[in-house]
Structure 1
Amino acid sequence: MSLVFRNLLKKVGSGAHTHQDLTRAEAAMALKLMLEQTATPAQIGAFLIAHRIKRPTAAEMAGMLDTYQELGPKVAAIESASPVMILSQPYDGRDRTFPLSPLTALVLASAGIPVLQHGGDRMPTKEGVPLIDLWRALGVDWSRVPLEQVSICLAKAHLGFVYLPRHFPAAQGLVPYREQIGKRPPIATLELIWNPYQGASHLVAGFVHPPTETIIRDALYLHGVQEFTTVKGLEGSCDLPRERTAIIGLGRHQPEPWQRLRLHPQDYGMNSSNIPWTTLSEAGEAMQQVLTGEPHPLTASVLWNSGFYLWQGGKAATLTEGMALSQDLLCSGTVRQHCQRLQAVVEQL
């Protein structure tokens, strides 16, 4: 048993009226003791559920991010005219709406914007489809790529992926606790703002509840991150919705450090229902249809989503131009060819 960890546990788990928030340094220490398994399983499970009940603060999240940056894998910087875009998604996946970010990442990469993603296998508590399975459906198995080769893939094909079980086994060691406590712990929010890339980047983090966005924003500011985007996306991802207004936060440098952007799909002819999730095999067929230019309802959602990120990535002056560029890249076969190039690079690595 760790006496140091027990004292940290007592602070967050003392009840609604007597609990105390951890300092940034204490939160960093707590997560480090959990990742290194210095804390006992009983202590780890108790902390994760108590911290969820208490609700994390921005300072605590910043401290946990300190530990991820200290102990986690680091993808070496590449030479690139555009910052690497970090497209996040909750690690426990999606089970209601079709995930768009793999196709979005391919569109961005084919336009010259490097994209880095990270995640693991199917994970409690949602057990939804993870990014790694969607990429496999596209013919790309990121689980086989060693960490030192991820930056090479990022340089050659403008795409990379950090796979938790292989590249960050200490974090993978905390996954069973999610199933045992039956709830998402605060580290699920931490994963949305973790950036394993060492060079210039632009983080995009999805969220569901406004308080989570506030924690994300303030934790990133505590880390000195000024350029980032938050999206009230589909199931907490960075995929823009089509059945409602897209609510977006833009973290920018001074003099306007925080801006709110609301995009109405109907203003762009994009208002419709979101594409529902069915099965992985059907998803693979749908994604291939989009890449080959065959008519499919998924295409419009990809144009809406990738058009926004082409705009934010500086490849288009407006959202409308971003969607037009996305359509050109898909219709010309450029994105499909880039996917084939990615498959070849990963296979070589």
Structure 2
Amino acid sequence: MTSDTPQHAIRTAIEKIATGPHLSKPLTRDEAREAFAAILSGHATPAQIGVFLIALRMKRETDDEFLGLLDALISETNPITVAVESLAILADPFDGFARSMPASPFLPAVLAACGLPTLAIGLPRLGPKYGVTHAQILSAAEIPVARTPQEAAAAVEHCGWSYCDQHQYAPRIAALVPLRNEIVKRTALNTLETLAKPLLGKRETHHLSGYVHSPYARLYALLARAAGFTSAAITKGVEGGFLPPLNKTSVVVRMPTEGDTTESIDPGALAIQHAVRAPEWPRAMPDPTDSPDWQRDAAHYAAQTGIAALQGAPGPTADALVYGAAIALWHTGKAGSLAEGAARARSVLRNGAAWDRWVAGKN
């Protein structure tokens, strides 16, 4: 059943979901879609938006509610088909990384060198974590982070990879960031925004992401299928990112055309052995809570470390790139096994092909 007006849709939704633990009722998929569409079209007040998002979280979102919100989110993007057969979209948490130094901003260049064109998506800064983001690290490394979807498509066709910011491909969703930061707690949008598809491959488009809490693995697979991805590889990664820990076995949930599978992944089987779970910040780096300049300093340090890895320097960052590339190449069929994917990633790091793709991404 559809509402007569957007204002009616958001009011009706709030009345259903914000009436306490015993009387609140779930929204249908259509009701959730209409309510979120009302928000995105400017027909809800900031107070209504905050109540809507927090009430959903407090009662726990249902699958239908997530799917309805996703339907509205998808309608905000106008995907551009890129002149490549296959495309991977890398969607790490939009609120970034704080406890470990991310290597993933450099993964698209490695995958491009291995024959898998890749687009990374994200936001420059988002709470509640306020970790260092892809956009901040790429900007510190002098990679363009304000490309339009058309410009990102051209970059993918030129060098095999790019970054595209939510402000460019879904500006009405990005406009909610200040309010989301005031809400403090994570909402359904933290999950849903990683399912955006600003670009499409001609034949197939793959989703690469991660999770922390086990129930979200099933949810991400459900949403990736509903969003129309050809497949998804969703790892139990460091801080919810795509790259798994370097020091212990993890899992990857694979969403093919039909059915989902959960596979165990062992870094030791790929000759990756570290005592740390991920690249670490230097000890001199101030605590994020103690320094307002932490994100800037962290972005510059991560950029320097990632560039060194692309230029052939060994260490945890290089191994994290090898590990992530192995999973992505194996999952998308670009490599016959994890071992083959790891060997190809090591090769492009050694022979300079990944670095060449990185440099080409500056133009």
The TM-score with structure 2 as length reference comes to 0.88
Backbone CA RMSD of aligned residues: 1.9
Q: Which residue of 2 aligns with 1:135?
A: 138
Q: Does 1:36 find its partner at 2:38?
A: no
State the Cα distance separating 1:41 from its structure 2 match: 0.9
Give 1:186's aligned residue. 188
Report the Cα distance in structure 2 between the residues aligned to 1:92 and 1:150, rounded to whole angstroms. Answer: 21
Aligned-partner residue type, residue 328 of structure 1: S
Q: Which residue in 2 is equivalent to 1:85?
A: 88
CA-to-aligned-CA distance 1:270-305 (integer Å, 9 cap, x gap): 242121245222212211211222344321222122
1:123 to 122, 126, 151: 126
Match of 1:64 among 35, 45, 69: 69
SS of 1:90's equivalent?
coil
Instruction: Please name the residue that 1:242 is paired with.
Output: 246
Cα pair distance change 1:156/1:96, threshold 3 Å: same
Q: Once the two structures are superposed, what CA deviation does each residue of 1:112-152 show, in whole Å capped at 9, x if it has no partner?
A: 21111211111111111111112123321221x23322211
| Secondary structure in structure 1 of the residue aligned to 2:334 | coil
Gaps of 5+ in 1: 345-349
- SS of 2:362's partner is helix
Name the amino acid aligned to 1:61. Answer: F
Query: In 2, distance between residues paired with 1:167 and 1:87?
Result: 15
For this pair of structures, how many residues does the alignment match?
A: 339
Per the alignment, residue 235 of structure 2 pairs with 231
In the other structure, the counterpart of 2:291 is none
The 5-angstrom pairing of residues 64-213 of structure 1 reads: 64-72=69-77, 74-81=78-85, 83-143=86-146, 145-199=147-201, 200-213=204-217
**Contact residue 102 and residue 135 of structure 1 kept, 8 A:** yes
Q: Is this contact kept in 1: 2:21–2:59, CA < 8 A?
A: yes
What's the offset of the Cα at 1:60? 1.4
Counterpart CA distance in 2 for 1:223 and 1:94 is 25
Residue matched to 1:298: 317
**1:222 Cα deviation after fit:** 4.1
After TM superposition, the structure 1 = structure 2 runs for residues 241-280 of structure 1, keeping only pairs within 5 Å, are 241-254=245-258, 257-272=259-274, 273=276, 274-277=278-281, 279-280=298-299
Whole-angstrom CA distance in 2 between matches of 1:60 and 1:224: 17
Q: Distance in 2 between matches of 1:232 and 1:295?
A: 24
Q: For residue 221 of structure 2, what is the aligned residue in structure 1?
A: 217
Q: TM-score, normalised by structure 1?
A: 0.91
1:342 maps to a residue whose letter is: G
1:287 to 300, 306, 309: 306
- 1:20 has 2:25 as partner: yes
Query: Cα offset for 1:207?
Result: 1.1
Shift of 1:225: 4.6
Deviation at 1:43, TM superposition (A): 0.5
Gaps of 5+ in 2: 1-5, 286-297
Amino acid at match of 2:129: K
1:23 and 1:59 in contact (8 A); partners too = yes
**Contact persistence 2:225–2:231 (CA under 8 A):** no
User: One-letter code of the match for 1:95?
Assistant: A
How many Å separate the matches in 1 of 2:230 and 2:124? 31
Distance 1:203 1:281 in 2: 28
Alignment check: 8 A CA contact 2:224 2:231 kept: no
What's the CA shift for 1:329?
Answer: 0.4
